[in-house]
Amino acid sequence: MATLGDRTVIRKSDTGTGRTGVWLVGARGSVATTAVAGCAALAAGLHEPLGMITETAVFEGCRLPSIGSLVFGGHDIAEVSLCKRAEELVASGVLPHTLPGAIYRELAEADAAVRPGGPAPDDRRSDEELIADFAEDICAFVREKGLARAVVVNVASTEPILDPARKRLPVSALYAAAALRAGSPYVNFTPSTGLHHPALAEAAAASGLPYAGRDGKTGQTLLRSVLAPMFRQRALLVRAWSGTNLLGGGDGAVLAHPGAAAAKNAGKARVLADTLADVPDGRVHIDNVPALGDWKTAWDHVVFDGFLGTRMIMQALWQGCDSALAAPLVLDLARLTAAAHAAGLSGPLAELAFFFKDPEPGAPGGLADQWRALLAFAEQLRGAT
Amino acid sequence: MATLGDRTVIRKSDTGTGRTGVWLVGARGSVATTAVAGCAALAAGLHEPLGMITETAVFEGCRLPSIGSLVFGGHDIAEVSLCKRAEELVASGVLPHTLPGAIYRELAEADAAVRPGGPAPDDRRSDEELIADFAEDICAFVREKGLARAVVVNVASTEPILDPARKRLPVSALYAAAALRAGSPYVNFTPSTGLHHPALAEAAAASGLPYAGRDGKTGQTLLRSVLAPMFRQRALLVRAWSGTNLLGGGDGAVLAHPGAAAAKNAGKARVLADTLADVPDGRVHIDNVPALGDWKTAWDHVVFDGFLGTRMIMQALWQGCDSALAAPLVLDLARLTAAAHAAGLSGPLAELAFFFKDPEPGAPGGLADQWRALLAFAEQLRGAT
Amino acid sequence: MATLGDRTVIRKSDTGTGRTGVWLVGARGSVATTAVAGCAALAAGLHEPLGMITETAVFEGCRLPSIGSLVFGGHDIAEVSLCKRAEELVASGVLPHTLPGAIYRELAEADAAVRPGGPAPDDRRSDEELIADFAEDICAFVREKGLARAVVVNVASTEPILDPARKRLPVSALYAAAALRAGSPYVNFTPSTGLHHPALAEAAAASGLPYAGRDGKTGQTLLRSVLAPMFRQRALLVRAWSGTNLLGGGDGAVLAHPGAAAAKNAGKARVLADTLADVPDGRVHIDNVPALGDWKTAWDHVVFDGFLGTRMIMQALWQGCDSALAAPLVLDLARLTAAAHAAGLSGPLAELAFFFKDPEPGAPGGLADQWRALLAFAEQLRGAT
Amino acid sequence: MATLGDRTVIRKSDTGTGRTGVWLVGARGSVATTAVAGCAALAAGLHEPLGMITETAVFEGCRLPSIGSLVFGGHDIAEVSLCKRAEELVASGVLPHTLPGAIYRELAEADAAVRPGGPAPDDRRSDEELIADFAEDICAFVREKGLARAVVVNVASTEPILDPARKRLPVSALYAAAALRAGSPYVNFTPSTGLHHPALAEAAAASGLPYAGRDGKTGQTLLRSVLAPMFRQRALLVRAWSGTNLLGGGDGAVLAHPGAAAAKNAGKARVLADTLADVPDGRVHIDNVPALGDWKTAWDHVVFDGFLGTRMIMQALWQGCDSALAAPLVLDLARLTAAAHAAGLSGPLAELAFFFKDPEPGAPGGLADQWRALLAFAEQLRGAT
């Protein structure tokens, strides 16, 4: 990796035409910061676009908004600026330690477009008022930046599973409703409720907007989505599939909370249920290990039976950086839903199951089938005129 | 696993009509013994057909020879009987320790049909004479057992890579030539030369017989064939892929020999070359660890780069029993090539790449694409009338 | 492993003199069955005494009761006989599948000496009555078999941690009290309360009996007891030590219960607290994975800091059979406490910390120091006349 | 880790009295650079002295030269300066990316004291001339810096095992001979020959100097030195111990060379031979994986037999940074041999076996015994007046 000077980032088109907004719910978190910084670094030509599927040949001719045309803003309840977060991510090795000043200028620009999320504990606004305020924030962003459209992407911390008897909408659903009201395509990169709330079903259907979710598939579940079909296709009987995830950062602390872990694990379990003949035994643990920072170790242990019942074992160890795995997918999803919107597509984009742990109903569960669905989607975008 | 009494194995059809021969080169080895014993156990209904793809719904209606209709014979230079080998495999946990007497009777029947392989060091026969003798052994088997046909499957120990200047054919090629001469479909489950020898190309093309190979994909390479496409599809750059295999049994001793290891590793490397954009760094070691007996531990270590060059690591540990993984595939391949022959198909069956480390040229490298090719092949068999 | 014929087990001395009783609480469990069968197999010379420390040169001249002089009995609430349990352990690969009939005869003899444990749910006996009954069972065993003494060893399932406000003694403490009353040395191989109950402290002190515990150190904790001192001695700062245990058998089901897991984990944590400068972050999970049967996989993940704060990771994977690891230690402990009793030693045997996760107070925490204490104990036994 | 400003490094004593030279053979390599930079950082109070044993309570009162009193110089054939190497190590995460300018000033000072190593291919000097020149370099260093003494530490790349018929001394032996001639204590941190050459035995014995070696024990062998005694003490029979090391950096390329690997592996094997009853099966591989840079992954796979021959498996994965593990040990050894010299000790310091893969003959093989020998050595230093 060459040490790069303080190059000027390639200018985004001065006219608003064609510029696409990416409105991040959780705009000052690790994933958002990595996405914004990385987008600037790629636009400046400082790195190969590793981890980004939309920059591969597969999406050539698909009329996706260019990397350099993306403009960032979002909601957050955190006060720590994107620049400060980037410095922390440099220190923990998530971002390269040679991040030039031009990148920091892009981060500052995105940070200036962040609006307060909510609600704070003493907030008196009703759900309806919150939705209206959030939607207005998004509309103002589009207006002021002169954007063709803005895509809303939820990258906030995982919400605990809530008591279904609760009267008020979960916060993630408020933001999703705001996206609909602002006429924005919506992507839920987390296991939180978002658009999946029954109270939003009608509005979603009537909106004419495309949307996709949920819960980005970055590590352990990605692995499971190729390993489970392998066992199935080979007629090997998976008896137990156990897993432990160790992670630090903010995510570790949030996911160690039983409610959030339950939300996360539901998605992780789905891939096995969807791709194996029988759901195997086995639990998944998520432990907070602060010393790991933004890095994660995931251990998988699979007990399976082969010919004449011979018992065998496979184990996998995944040591990855969640923010670095998630950020390019967030950019991919923003570009793809923006293009879908431009092409007049609406409703759930099951073709994007490739990206998610818990995709839209009816989507295939194995990665290979999801990949083919994605190729077909690329073909569809290419054909749209 | 229930302890089963000495049940009578379901009788194979008394008339020869429809009975299919499986002629195993290396008929007294672990894989062959496990295949013969397992076939008898399945025919007797003692076990679920785990690990056998041809017993899944995918191949329903494909007119494959039934499990109970398979009849075994073969060549071997070893004198140890199949029954004795089975006892050893029971002791090492490859075969269940409750193998009823009826299974031993089937093993004895197969053992009686084994003919001496060769050539021994002092054998004076020419290549041509050896081919003729081997072919006559196969023909006699078909004749005496009243079989519809016999499929020849090479499950002998891996041959070292030979000096290309050598005048004589490698032994595996002699058996392959004998199969052609006997009018038998041919499957090469090992990395040895077999039908791949240039001197046999013309005869293979002229034979009108179907054939498939080579080198059954049972463990580490199976894993690689799903993991490598995953990295590729996610646009993650694999920098290095290293592996170590520890195994005992006869195989460990054979493969620890550099020539044989080279033959084996060529196949293992192919999957990465076929499915990744660039061939990564990294070596593969095969060590003989007698204490592991018929069990194998394979360790894979993958270094890959994600977004902005973030370096990450994945490791996989596979602890399997090679004979138990290979035997059902041998039965699958025998049934599939027999059905292909019956359906009038000829030439290389690239559609069977799913089973092999080093499939026929032009076959897809990733398991998912190989799976789809196999489904299409099943469709073709169903349609053949 | 040679296939052995039905050899006669070497006869234990016909006179009672010198015969030592081993009274197993949980006499029909996996550990007990393996200990009884294994003792018979060793006495018959069928196997090397692997895993038994008392059969090494270290204990030469220590006047331990010979392997052939041990006589087994015990309490259990289970009805399944030791022979039946042995068959199950043969099927799951814990006991060799060539267990000769003579071993089964020894198992049957031990089984005949098993008395009903308790209390059953409808049992009306007071704690005092139960202790008296249990003690009488032990005394009768000594009397009827004409034994020099009987050592009581608790190998029953782990008891959940109980409400301290509870009036009645935990069952494990009833058996411990019975041992004291019967004049028997006592070993607690489990994390259950046993002699550690405050109500028994005075009786234990007054008994003049030697005792040892608690919680046999067979796998993950054994590893930790050598790895943790290594980090400490090298001045490497352990930041987090996480672990997951997967196991089946009865133990998996019992330990998956939060109360029992808590009891187990307290012992596991102690080794880190005793040997590292600071207790690191990290949790330990125990999952029930029935498919693993009597086998266990334990994964340890250690994050540590080296020079200038460089973050590094060590992982360990332990795949063992708990019964096979525990049984020889149970025999070791029975012999050592019997010898201690014969030598007139009394009170807590901190010198046996080598065997335990949660040894007597004041015992060293690292395995190396425990080993030296054990060597000194051997010296003491040799010197006792 | 706090971001630290450009603090002034604590001044080393202005008078020469008490200042100790550390003359590094391979002075511009990763280990040397990390040692020099780290020593400066510790002297400046920027980090806790993790990984340094001589900074723990064990060595209190041992009259070791203080960290701030060490002065560096050495030989190298490389031209890349220590500052440039430090920048590379910052980029690869070995050194913290907040290395203040004062550290670079210390590196520059050490770099100015580096003299050309040799011999270059066209060097016409005899062995004797080379030794004389190297010795004069060391003496000049002591003289010009006004040092009490200089310790010579070999941290150069591993030398291949040489043809014993070769007339000339291996280069590592030339440097060792130069150390003797210059009156300097000598430490061999590598598997190269150094003082072990028979031609130097007499001079070493006559020198009255203390020396220690060889081959610093930083990762896989460190682990083996605690795990192997554990198996032995538990009477578990190790059947096979296999290992694979993946590493990049300069070391990976050097050690992938069969000659150098053989030298390295001899040391690695010794710990098993010294601590287990029987040397187990199993090979050790060292592979060059450039993508790993200065990081190493070591995999160990141990097959062992327990009670009644039950086969079990332990695996260990070590992911460390060799330079960060080695550098503090280099500082430890320099301080300890300097103190030994000051205390009038001479000859091989077997008490330092704790640090080495292949310690002086007669030294204990297990880490715990080596630790006790080190404690006794500390006591000896404390007592020396």
Chain B positions in Cβ-Cβ contact with residue A324 (cut-off 8 Å): 306-308, 310, 312
State yes or no: pLDDT of A378 exceeds 70: yes
Any chain C CB within 8 A of the CB of A299?
yes
Residues whose CB is less than 8 angstroms from the CB of residue A249 and which lie 6 or more positions away in sequence, other chains included = A30, A92, A292, A293, A294, A322, A323
Stretch among A315-324, C4-13, C210-219, D235-244 having the lowest mean pLDDT: C4-13
Cα separation, B120 vs B384, whole angstroms: 43
A278, C24, D253 from D160: Cα distances, Å: 55, 59, 12
Residue D199 CB neighbour total at 10 angstroms: 11
Task: Considering only the beta carbons, identify the residue of A297, A301, A319 that sits closest to C246.
Answer: A301
Cα separation, C330 vs C344, whole angstroms: 21
By C-alpha distance, the chain B residue nearest D256 is B283
Q: Do the beta carbons of residue A325 and residue A219 sit within 8 Å?
A: yes
Quote the minimal CA–CA distance from C96 to chain B in Å: 9
Q: Is the Cβ pair A244, C285 closer than 8 Å? A: yes
Cα separation, C204 vs C200, whole angstroms: 6
Q: Do the beta carbons of residue B263 and residue B304 sit within 8 Å?
A: no
Q: Is the Cβ pair D240, B292 closer than 8 Å? A: yes
Interface of A with B in 131-160 (CB under 8 A): none
By C-alpha distance, the chain A residue nearest D91 is A97
Cα separation, A290 vs A278, whole angstroms: 36
Band of the pLDDT at C2, cuts 50, 70, 90?
A: very low
Give the torsion through C-alpha atoms of C279, C280, C283, C289, to 10 deg: -100
Mean pLDDT, chain B, integer: 91
pTM attached to this predicted model: 0.94
- A9 and A45 part of one domain: yes
Residues whose CB is less than 8 angstroms from the CB of residue D51 and which lie 6 or more positions away in sequence, other chains included = C234, C235, C236, C306, C307, D324, D325, D327, D328, D329
Cα separation, D23 vs D150, whole angstroms: 6
- D142 and D208 part of one domain: yes
pLDDT of residue B115: 98
With a cut of 50, list the residues of chain D below it in pLDDT: 1-16
Residues whose CB is less than 8 angstroms from the CB of residue C108 and which lie 6 or more positions away in sequence, other chains included = C81, C82, C83
Q: Which residue has the tokens 């499939």?
A: B359
Mean pLDDT computed over C95-112 = 92
- B317 and B329 part of one domain: no
Stretch among A132-136, A250-254, C344-348, D114-118 having the lowest mean pLDDT: A250-254
Q: Is D157 or B4 the better-scoring residue by pLDDT?
A: D157
- B209 and B92 part of one domain: yes
pLDDT of residue B93: 87
Which string of b and e fits C264-303 if b means at least 16 CB within 10 Å?
A: bbebbbbbbebbbeeebbbbbbbbbbebbbbbbbbbbbbb
pLDDT of residue D227: 97
pLDDT of residue B166: 81
Cα separation, A206 vs D137, whole angstroms: 85
| Consecutive H or E run containing D106 | helix D101-112
Q: How far is CA D155 from the centre of its chain?
A: 6
Instruction: Enter the tokens of residue C341.
Output: 């009793």
pLDDT of residue D172: 97
Share of chain B above pLDDT 90, in %: 79
Cα separation, C261 vs A78, whole angstroms: 38
Touching subunits of C (3+ CB pairs, under 8 Å) are A, B, D
Task: Considering only the beta carbons, identify the residue of D229, D314, D354 that sits closest to C317.
Answer: D314
Q: Do the beta carbons of residue B258 and residue B211 sit within 8 Å?
A: no
Q: List pLDDT tens digits, range A312-332.
A: 999 999 999 999 999 999 999
- C170 and C59 part of one domain: yes
Q: How many CA atoms lie within 13 A of C14 on its CB side?
A: 0
Show which of A276, A303, A321 is a domain's final residue. A321
Q: Is the Cβ pair C240, A281 closer than 8 Å? A: no
Q: Is the Cβ pair D1, A93 closer than 8 Å? A: no
Task: Considering only the beta carbons, identify the residue of C41, C307, C313 that sits closest to D328.
Answer: C307
Stretch among A107-111, B287-291, C112-116, C118-122 having the lowest mean pLDDT: C118-122
- D158 and D263 part of one domain: no
Q: Is the Cβ pair A297, C297 closer than 8 Å? A: no
ipTM: 0.93
Tell me A45's DSSP state: T
Pairing of the two strands D311-321 and C311-321:
antiparallel
Cα separation, C33 vs C145, whole angstroms: 20
Show which of C304, C321, C338 is a domain's final residue. C321
Quote the minimal CA–CA distance from C353 to chain B in Å: 32
Q: Is A15 or B106 the better-scoring residue by pLDDT?
A: B106
Show which of B297, B321, B345 is a domain's final residue. B321
Q: How far is CA A314 from the centre of its chain?
A: 29
C176, C213, C230 from C190: Cα distances, Å: 12, 8, 27
**Which residue out of C95, C97, C294, C299 would a mutagenesis test of the B interface target, given it has the greatest number of B Cβ atoms within 10 Å?**
C97
Mean pLDDT computed over C281-288 = 94
Q: List pLDDT tens digits, range C168-188.
A: 999 999 999 999 999 999 999
Q: Is the Cβ pair D291, B311 closer than 8 Å? A: yes
C36, C145, D9, D200 from C15: Cα distances, Å: 20, 10, 80, 68
- C53 and C175 part of one domain: yes
Tell me C184's DSSP state: -
| Consecutive H or E run containing D302 | strand D295-305
Quote the minimal CA–CA distance from A4 to chain B in Å: 13
Residue A180, domain CATH = 3.40.50.720
**Which residue out of A286, A297, A314 would a mutagenesis test of the C interface target, given it has the greatest number of C Cβ atoms within 10 Å?**
A297
**Which residue out of A231, A308, A372, A377 would a mutagenesis test of the B interface target, given it has the greatest number of B Cβ atoms within 10 Å?**
A308
pLDDT of residue B251: 76
Number of domains in chain D: 2
Stretch among A356-365, B17-26, C258-267, D332-341 having the lowest mean pLDDT: C258-267
Chain C positions in Cβ-Cβ contact with residue A291 (cut-off 8 Å): 239-240, 281, 303, 305, 311
Q: What is the DSSP string of C77-96?
A: S--S-HHHHHHHHHHTTSS-
Cα separation, A48 vs A42, whole angstroms: 7
Rg (CA), chain A: 21
Chain C positions in Cβ-Cβ contact with residue D368 (cut-off 8 Å): 229, 366-369, 371
Quick check: helix, strand or coil at residue A29?
coil
Quick check: helix, strand or coil at residue B93?
coil
- C149 and C161 part of one domain: yes
Q: Do the beta carbons of residue B325 and residue A307 sit within 8 Å?
A: yes
pLDDT of residue A385: 55
CA angle B218, B319, B326 (to 5 degrees): 25
Query: How many residues would you count in chain D?
Result: 385
Residue B278, domain CATH = 3.30.360.10
Quote the minimal CA–CA distance from A258 to chain D in Å: 30
pLDDT of residue B385: 55
Q: How far is CA C246 from the centre of its chain?
A: 20
Stretch among B48-52, B290-294, D134-138, D160-164 having the lowest mean pLDDT: D160-164
Mean pLDDT computed over C60-67 = 95
Range of D354's domain?
A: 2-216+324-383
Tell me B3's DSSP state: -
Chain D positions in Cβ-Cβ contact with residue A93 (cut-off 8 Å): 93
Chain C positions in Cβ-Cβ contact with residue D247 (cut-off 8 Å): none
Instruction: Tell me the torsion sign for CA atoms C47, C52, C54, C57.
Output: positive
Band of the pLDDT at B269, cuts 50, 70, 90?
A: confident
By C-alpha distance, the chain C residue nearest B293 is C1
Q: Interhelix angle for A367-383 vs B367-383, to 10°?
A: 90
State yes or no: pLDDT of B289 exceeds 70: yes
Quick check: helix, strand or coil at residue A301?
strand
Q: Do the beta carbons of residue A23 and residue A154 sit within 8 Å?
A: no
What φ, ψ does residue D314 adopt, rounded to 5°? Answer: -125, 140
Q: Which residue has the tokens 């020149």?
A: D133
State yes or no: pLDDT of B191 exceeds 70: yes
Quote the minimal CA–CA distance from D275 to chain C in Å: 13
- B136 and B45 part of one domain: yes
Chain D positions in Cβ-Cβ contact with residue B91 (cut-off 8 Å): none
Any chain C CB within 8 A of the CB of D118?
no
Instruction: Enter the tokens of residue B67.
Output: 């499990």
- C157 and C242 part of one domain: no
Task: Considering only the beta carbons, identify the residue of B240, B291, B317 that sits closest to D303.
Answer: B291
Which of B164, B156, B216, B154 lies closest to B185, judged by CA? B154
Residue B244 forms beta bridges with which residues? B285, B299
Band of the pLDDT at B5, cuts 50, 70, 90?
A: very low
Mean pLDDT computed over B104-114 = 97
- C49 and C153 part of one domain: yes
Helix, strand, coil fractions of chain D, as percent rounded to 5? 45, 20, 35
Cα separation, B369 vs C304, whole angstroms: 43
By C-alpha distance, the chain B residue nearest D298 is B301
pLDDT of residue C384: 73
pLDDT of residue A11: 35
Any chain A CB within 8 A of the CB of B307?
yes
Mean pLDDT, chain A, integer: 91
Chain D positions in Cβ-Cβ contact with residue A319 (cut-off 8 Å): 319
| Consecutive H or E run containing B131 | helix B127-145
Residue C45 CB neighbour total at 10 angstroms: 12
Which of C258, C257, C256, C283 lies closest to C269, judged by CA? C283
Cα separation, A254 vs A249, whole angstroms: 9
Q: Is the Cβ pair C1, B91 closer than 8 Å? A: yes
State yes or no: pLDDT of C77 exceeds 50: yes
Band of the pLDDT at C385, cuts 50, 70, 90?
A: low
- D270 and D123 part of one domain: no
Q: Which residue has the tokens 């890095």?
A: A295
| Burial group, residue C167, by CB count within 10 angstroms (0-12, 13-18, 19+) | exposed
Touching subunits of D (3+ CB pairs, under 8 Å) are A, B, C
Q: Give the amino acid at C199.
A: A
